[in-house]
A and B are shown apart, each in its own frame.
Chain A
Amino acid sequence: MLLEGKAWKFGDNIDTDVIIPARYLSTSDPAELARHCMEDADPGFPGKVRPGDIIVGGRNFGCGSSREHAPLAIKGAGVSCVIARTFARIFYRNAFNIGLPILECPAAVDGIRTGDRVAVDTASGTIRNLTTGEEFAAKPIPPFMQEIINSGGLIAYVRRKLT
């Protein structure tokens, strides 16, 4: 998958309450959730983000609750990919399960600023900062996760397994 968009950078330990506060969890509609995505970190974010844009986080991105509403809100906002130094593990699983590509790459996090244009090849893990011309190699996605992605997410994977 080839992705391209503008980067929005956030810090370390961006937790699920920041990604989508619990006060909005009485729905699981991605469009509705997207309206409040990241608003406790940057109130203007839902209005500024454009389809294809890329979130760049620091360490432990997505820590906190198991709410799948967090990757759903990000995906619903049109974000095509999240790059971070490390991800919290439940968020990591959830993102793959719902089909939001995420990549761990500390070098890319250092080399990308908010506003840079970034291109990502999820298959090879290559991340390019089109603004600066720098290129980074992300940790490859484990083969098992690739299988889930290739099936079209976990549900499709299970359906195939059961039929």
Chain B
Amino acid sequence: MGMTITEKVLARAARRDRVAPGELISARVDVVLGNDITAPLAIREFRKIGVDRVFDPERVILVPDHFVPNKDIQSAEQAKEMRDFAREQGLTNYFEIGRMGIEHCLLPEQGLVGPGDVVIGADSHTCTYGALGAFATGVGSTDLAAAMALGETWFKVPASIKFIYEGELPEWVGGKDLILHTIGDIGVEGALYQAMEFTGPAIENLSMDGRFTMANMAIEAGAKNGIIAPDGRTIEYVRGRAQRPYEIFQSDPDAEYARVITYDVSQIEPQVAFPHSPDNTRPVTEAGQVEIDQVVIGSCTNGRLEDLRLAARVLMRHRVHKNVRLIVIPGTQEIYRRAMDEGLLAVFIRAGGAVSTPTCGPCLGGHMGVLARGERAVATTNRNFVGRMGHPESEVYLANPAVAAASAILGRIAHPNEVT
């Protein structure tokens, strides 16, 4: 019996020939990751263990991204606690404002994660790195603390669901739409405790940025990890970036899956997830008349260069609707710089949008665009839970960057074709 890519990556990390779904294994981790919300708690737990040093100062990565630039005194204290720890431990991969980015955009970009890695992060969207053919999953702060000390952790090996995306992507349809459509189909617990393996010709044709978007939202279906087997595109992406050797794994043809689900992507339209759940999806053409107050383009889901290019293409020669605040947040300093060099930021600013330094900001209702009671936002983020972007009676509609940009122009949820 063959193994899935998820099983192979885990077997290697567990120093075993094979593992099977349901088994509890102890595995070494290549990278452990924390941010300014989760790391302070982990650091306090780490101190209780009674070891002086983290297992490897290059592999414990800390990124202040949620409430930075610090939104208030408390968040400044939290960020400082993490900064002090990074200095004390001599961590090589701690990223300060001006050099940082949203963690899940930053780590792949900097070559800190690669194919075949096992990564845990005290952030649920750690699953993003599955786009590189890594096993990556979110944990809590106590798990993070233990892994910072040990360089290993335990996992229950997940069963895998294989998703096959056939056909050619229509215009304005990208990774965000494929994953929203998928979550809309299987539901927010459709892949609970399982691995989502994305395959098929449409995935092969999808850019790395689009693949990151898909793996990023695996957690929104309850999955333990999302994963895409490395191909030529992956290798092209990691070449010149990877800071460590990496290993390529592929699923065996006779690997066993809990389910196999096939979609014809040529039938998929740009999707919108209505409040208050990422599985409450419908095609944008069926959105009806939904007037909006704010548009956020950014986050670890859609804050990459390709996303900004797409948004700028739609916004070019247009102005943001008078009733709408457009907030654009590049995912990393590098994306920010390239967007500036390419003239994308000028498009946003000329259109009447605001451009921010990289931060999670409004994605989790932290700062930089929190919603008031009754306000509605279209966001390229990944969650639209009650109160996610601010007041419990505000609403978030999830969409791709082109839909978000078109909506900013028309002041209501709109299809990009309406303005281009």
CB within 8 Å of B: which residues of A? 13, 15, 17-18, 21-23, 25-28, 40-41, 59-60, 63-69, 71, 86, 88-90, 93-94, 97-98, 142, 144, 153-155, 157-159, 161-163
Q: How far is the CB of B49 from chain A (nearest CB, A)?
A: 5
Contacts A60-B188, A64-B124, A68-B38 given; does A40 touch B392 at CB 8 Å: yes
Q: How far is the CA of A15 from the CA of B387 in the complex (A)?
A: 11
Give a binary string over B362-395; 1 marks a CB under 8 Å from any A CB, 0 the rest. 0011100010000000000001011110101000
A-B CB contact pairs (8 Å), 11 listed? A22-B388, A65-B124, A66-B124, A66-B140, A67-B140, A89-B193, A90-B124, A93-B139, A93-B140, A155-B146, A163-B50
Which B residues lie within 8 Å of A71 (CB)?
A: 140
B189 touching A60, Cβ below 8 Å: yes
Q: How far is the CA of A63 from the CA of B75 in the complex (A)?
A: 24
CB within 8 Å of A: which residues of B? 24, 37-38, 40-41, 44-45, 48-51, 66-67, 71-72, 74-75, 78, 121-124, 126, 138-143, 145-146, 149-150, 154, 188-189, 192-193, 222, 224, 277, 364-366, 370, 383, 385-388, 390, 392
Q: How far is the CB of B281 from chain A (nearest CB, A)?
A: 15
CB nearest to A71 among chain B residues? B140
Which B residues lie within 8 Å of A25 (CB)?
A: 37, 66-67, 364, 366
Q: How far is the CA of A86 from the CA of B44 in the complex (A)?
A: 30
Name the contact of B366 in the complex, choosing from A22, A40, A144, A158 (C-beta under 8 A).
A22
Which A residues lie within 8 Å of B222 (CB)?
A: 60, 63, 88-89
Q: How far is the CA of A151 from the CA of B49 in the complex (A)?
A: 13
Name the contact of B189 in the complex, choosing from A86, A98, A153, A154 (C-beta under 8 A).
A86
Which B residues lie within 8 Å of A28 (CB)?
A: 40-41, 44, 141
Q: How far is the CB of A24 from chain B (nearest CB, A)?
A: 10
Nearest first, the 3 closest Cβ-Cβ pairs linking A and B are A94-B140, A26-B74, A97-B142
Q: How far is the CB of A159 from chain B (nearest CB, A)?
A: 5
CB nearest to A70 among chain B residues? B140
CB nearest to A12 among chain B residues? B189
Which A residues lie within 8 Å of B48 (CB)?
A: 155, 159
Q: How far is the CB of A72 from chain B (nearest CB, A)?
A: 8
Contacts A66-B124, A155-B146 given; does A88 touch B37 at CB 8 Å: no
Name the contact of B154 in the complex, choosing from A17, A21, A144 (C-beta under 8 A).
A144
B192 touching A88, Cβ below 8 Å: yes
A13 touching B189, Cβ below 8 Å: yes
Q: How far is the CB of A89 from chain B (nearest CB, A)?
A: 5
Which A residues lie within 8 Å of B364 (CB)?
A: 17, 22, 25, 65
